Amino acid sequence: MAKKIKNPYRAWRRYRHREEECTTLHKVFDYATNKYPERIAYQYVDGGQQYTYEAFRRKVEQLSMRMTRFGIKHGDRVAIFSQNMPNWVVAFFSATVYGRVAVPILPDSTETELTNILHHSESKVLFISQRQMPKLTDECRKKLTLIVDIETFEFLKKDKEDFKCNGWVKDPQPDDLATIIYTSGTTGKAKGVMLSHRNICHNLAAAFKAQPAFKKDRFLSILPAAHAYEMNVSTIYSFYVGASCYTLQKPPTPTILLSAMKKVRPTIVCSVPLIIEKVVKNSVLPTIQKSRVLSWADRRIPHILRRFVGSRMVKTFGGKLKFFGIGGAKLDPAVEQFLRDCHFPYAVGYGLTETAPLVCNLMVGKSRGVGSIGPASYKVEIRLDNVNPVNGEGEMVVRGPNVMLGYYKDPERTLQVIDDEGWFHTNDVATMDERGYYYIKGRLNNTILGPSGENIYPEEIEQVINNIEGVEESLVMERDGKLVALVKFQDNAINWNLATEDKWFEELENRKKAIMDWVNKVVGKNSKIGEVDAMKEPFEKTATQKIRRFKYKDSHGDEPKKPKEQ
């Protein structure tokens, strides 16, 4: 197992000057490229695109100059639509370092979403990969000044009439706009979150305070860089500390991910709960279960074997792992208990795109009970609003240098979430213990009001369902006055090819009944479900693998219906 930092606070004091110096992305860029010129900054896991910090600087300056010659000036929008790659970061810095505004677009965005974002942001430049090119409409092409192939940096569209060399730039100030990140979250209508240089640079300092990293660290990037979590806690944070960041060329399937872990031997990985939950439930737990050292019912490991299991897990992840960050959604308590038992070097964080993203975080080995998201992050203030005097639940409200400037071109929605004193209302319900550690209960707009006026959090019921053998994921909602669970079974649990046979329908009904019986035995009386519907296809998700709940309002699942007997 990788050597742990003996005193992270000493590391913080030693590098405190970096926070004071690096107040904009321009200053981060100057600091890192001057201090670590010969070290590898970004590269593909399997070779190909690779940049030392010095080569990275030269490429960023070259691209910025080319944009300047075509009139792309301070404040102009530069969109990036591509899968992860070292050149993605080059494109991002070529915009933000000189006062332009980056508009990262998630790679799974549709043609309509791409069109809407380019139009709403008024982007003049688009860096795009060949894989995404079919989604670019002719109408969008006409409106863009420059279109750049991000894989080669060849200009696919440029007009001689625009070549006026009048794209003036200047060093950005801390409160200047750095990026607009569009997010639909799980509620549907996209919002352009405006993050300043101060927002991002504060997040880099907060990340270092939470988990110090250094030039010899190796980051493995597995989430979309267009998402605030991956962008600011991994991709740019690695640059901030002079480390090396490795990128996958293919989607992070278990096979590809484990192969990359062996090659890179990363020390730091940022992930979402779904990835580690699948590894634990589908690989680690079944292996241990066969050896009869683990009770499936409570997933507790005999004390004498805990460190052995943990070290084997770390070896599976390359053998040098010291920090496995988990954020973006709520971690299954059973999986977290397992990770705690075997001393796996994980840490849970909480944040939102609107807070750049860090709000709360734990440190490795410093967790306080299963389910906690930790205390407030560095320089972040938190309070609970409208607290229920019975159970202490209230909405998390946040203030600090991490809070966004607002939603782009949307003052009405900005005023709904940021009050006159600068407090951002997260819409997340939480409790706080006596030591200032927070525990998320659920989303305020997901909360279901029970028949007696009590709050029901569907996320808590879903965690119970997701721990049932054969279940992959679930979603609980209210329909016709009762709680309904939509359940997606694991691929090997249901043979959908037999969906025309009576025996198949009988087996499916038995599985659904078993789920309902177990859940209603475990949960409180107000959280009992009245119906279970099966989903044949996986739920549609956000970049951090949260289900887009609004898509399934009043859904009855997509399971085949048994034909009526003649």
The span from the CA of 367 to the CA of 210, in Å, is: 12
Residue range 511-540: mean pLDDT, rounded: 88
- What pLDDT, on the 0 to 100 scale, is given for residue 296? 45
For residue 401, say if its preceding peptide bond is cis, omega within 30 degrees of 0.
Answer: no
The pair of structure tokens assigned to 214 is: 């250094």
The DSSP-derived string for 520-555 is HHHS-GGG--SEEEEESSPPPB-TTS-B-GGGGTT-
pLDDT at 297: 44
Q: What are 449's strand-pairing partners?
A: 455
Q: What is the mean pLDDT of residues 515-537?
A: 88
pLDDT in tens, 390-414: 889 999 999 999 999 999 999 999 9
With the C-alpha atoms ordered 38, 43, 46, 47, is the resulting torsion angle positive or negative? Answer: negative
- How far is residue 63's CA from residue 68's CA, in Å, rounded to a whole number? 9
Spatial neighbors of 241 by CB under 8 A, at least 6 apart, are: 208, 213, 214, 215, 217
Domains, in order of start, for the chain: 22-204 (3.40.50.12780), 454-552 (3.30.300.30)
Residue 362, amino acid: L
pLDDT, average across residues 12-38: 92
User: Cα–Cα distance between 217 and 386 in angstroms, integer?
Assistant: 43
Q: At residue 292, does pLDDT exceed 70?
A: no
Does 126 have pLDDT greater than 50? yes
Helices marked H in 177-253 — which ranges? 197-210, 228-230, 236-240
User: Are the C-beta atoms of residues 122 and 109 closer than 8 Å to each other?
Assistant: no
Compute CA distances 438 → 344, 349, 462, whole Å: 21, 11, 20
- Interhelix angle for 86-96 vs 25-35, to 10°? 130
Q: Does the pLDDT value for residue 352 go beyond 90?
A: yes
Beta strands, E only, 379-505? 381-385, 394-399, 406-407, 424-432, 438-443, 448-449, 455-456, 471-479, 482-489
pLDDT grade for 13, boundaries at 50, 70 and 90: confident
Tokens of 86: 């070292």
Show Cβ contacts of residue 99 under 8 Å, excluding neighbours closer than 6 positions: 26, 74, 75, 169, 170, 171, 172, 176
What pLDDT score does 565 carry? 55
pLDDT band at 423 (very low <50, low <70, confident <90, very high): very high
Residue 489 in tokens? 């079974």
pLDDT tens string 164-186: 887 788 899 999 999 999 986 44
Place of tokens 């100059």: 65
Output the average pLDDT for the chain: 88
Structure-token pair, residue 431: 């409790």
Task: Decide if pLDDT at 300 tops 70.
Answer: no
Residue with tokens 């599976």: 316
